[in-house]
Amino acid sequence: MKRCGTVLFIVLLALCAPLASAGTSAVSAIESHKHLGVASCSNSVCHGASQPFRDSNVLQNEFAVWQEFDPHAKAWQTLGSAASKEIGRKLGIGDPASAKICLDCHADSIAVENRGERFQLSDGVGCESCHGGSEMWLNAHADRSVTHADNLKNGMYPTDQPVERARLCLSCHMGTSDRMITHRIMGAGHPRLSFELDTFTWLHPHYKIGEAWTKRKGEWNGVRDWAVGQGVATENLLDLITDEKAGWKGIFPELVLFDCHACHKLMSGRQWGPRQGTGLGPGVVRLNDSNMLMFRHVLAPVDKAAAARILEQTRALHRATTESREATFAAARRLRSSVEGMLPTVAAFNYGADSLDAILASIEADAERGEYRDYASAEQVAMAAQSVVVAFENDGKIDGEKATVLRARLDALYATIKNEDSWSVKNFRTALAALRAAAP
């Protein structure tokens, strides 16, 4: 990340600020040093062991785990699949495996001159796509006298920090102005993207958070990761909305920023109902506000007044989309500034056992007001509930039998949203109430 010097501080601040707010900082940090390639990490005495090492700070079998279990390892191969070829054909971009718009997210698409000798595009989303170019830290970082702070100074990316991690993941899992996913790509058959930081961090991990980790990197708190992830995702979406290049195509705004199911619904449905979070009437295309909605629940145990302000400003944004582009930009900037203002507090907040109850209560109160009519929000609620339930378990707040019941109800909640084309908000609400009833 670029540092602002003191002499030209004011001028540079003006230059650095829009850089950060445009959401390009994660990608530019990752690409600020040469990428030496996965082969530089995968030696059997480095991260390529077949079994975890006993007396090491890290597992050292990360490469094997990544290669076997982590879809990132196959992200480039995906571009050779029949589904990808069909997407490529419909978009008229030729072979997706060599098309920049696909490689940006399905591989480590750093500029050719910044690739080391052992770099291979076919490694997909490799170690340095997340941990940053290793040019400056590769040799030093295995030495026990070298601290985590030293590594960060040498260009390692702070994947341990939730705000920074969220920015990184979202650069591919939501898209930013420099790694953009568009409705045209979706229209050609790309799957809809959805993301929740805590859930996704633990789907295919090659790491273990224990004593050795906290000693070097600080406390881990999954609920805080969830909370931060919602704030950063909201910022990211608002940045795209206000980006003239990424957010607008011809007379239409970029449709990928809207709730997919606002348009993709059965004509015979007749299921419209009001949502307090939008304040909009029937027949209006809604922005995808699922992360904004969740950020209010994030704030429930932190600052109730701030949560109310987010609700008000989210409604103002929805209203502005029915007025003009200028009004939309102004409302988006106001909301973004509120989220940005709250993010440091959220990132420092110690979400403990009592805050978990406040979050679940806040989520359920919204269910009673009909807030989860939109699939993207219901999906975020399920992932939030999972994050909170796991935290209850880790806190030792629930014993064996209760945990089994809670797990079963969580599975039941997920089951109600399994099919985005035929789910029922009523069944979802019933399952959510049952989950809450089983929580301590």
Site mask for ligand HEC (CB under 6 A), range 119-158, x = bound: ------xxx-xxx---------------------------
Cβ 320 vs Cβ 331: under 8 Å: yes
**Shortest reach from residue 111's CB to ligand HEC, in Å:** 14
Give the Cβ contact number of residue 218 at 10 Å: 11
**Shortest reach from residue 220's CB to ligand HEC, in Å:** 9
- The candidate with the shortest Cα–Cα distance to 109, out of 66, 75, 160, 152, is 75
Instruction: Tell me: does residue 39 bind ligand HEC (CB under 6 A).
Output: no
Instruction: Tell me: does residue 293 bind ligand HEC (CB under 6 A).
Output: no
Residue of 49, 110, 121, 168 that binds ligand HEC (CB under 6 A): 168
Instruction: Tell me: does residue 35 bind ligand HEC (CB under 6 A).
Output: no
Q: Residue 63: phi, psi to the nearest 5? A: -60, -45
d(CA 153, CA 146): 11
Nearer to ligand HEC, 94 or 440 (CB): 94
Tokens of 191: 């799957």
d(CA 180, CA 260): 17
Instruction: Tell me: does residue 167 bind ligand HEC (CB under 6 A).
Output: no
Residue of 181, 378, 382, 417 that binds ligand HEC (CB under 6 A): 181
Torsion of CA 395, 214, 25, 15, to 10 degrees: 110
Instruction: Tell me: does residue 300 bind ligand HEC (CB under 6 A).
Output: no
Torsion of CA 63, 65, 66, 71, to 10 degrees: 160
d(CA 191, CA 193): 6
How many residues sit close enough to ligand HEC to count as binding (CB under 6 A)?
A: 69
**Shortest reach from residue 431's CB to ligand HEC, in Å:** 21
The amino acid at residue 328 is T
Cβ 23 vs Cβ 239: under 8 Å: yes
Instruction: Tell me: does residue 207 bind ligand HEC (CB under 6 A).
Output: yes
* Residue keyed to tokens 């602002």: 4
Q: Which stretch binds ligand HEC (CB under 6 A): 69-77, 112-120, 132-140, 267-275?
A: 69-77
Residue 282 buriedness (CB in 10 A; 0-12 / 13-18 / 19+): exposed
Q: Write out the residues near ligand HEC by the rule CB under 6 A.
A: 38, 41, 47, 58, 62-63, 66, 71-72, 74-75, 78-79, 81, 83-84, 87-88, 91, 96, 99, 101-102, 104-106, 125-127, 129-131, 159-160, 165, 168-169, 171-173, 175, 179, 181, 183, 185-187, 189-193, 200-201, 203-204, 206-207, 213, 216-217, 255-256, 258, 260, 262-264, 285
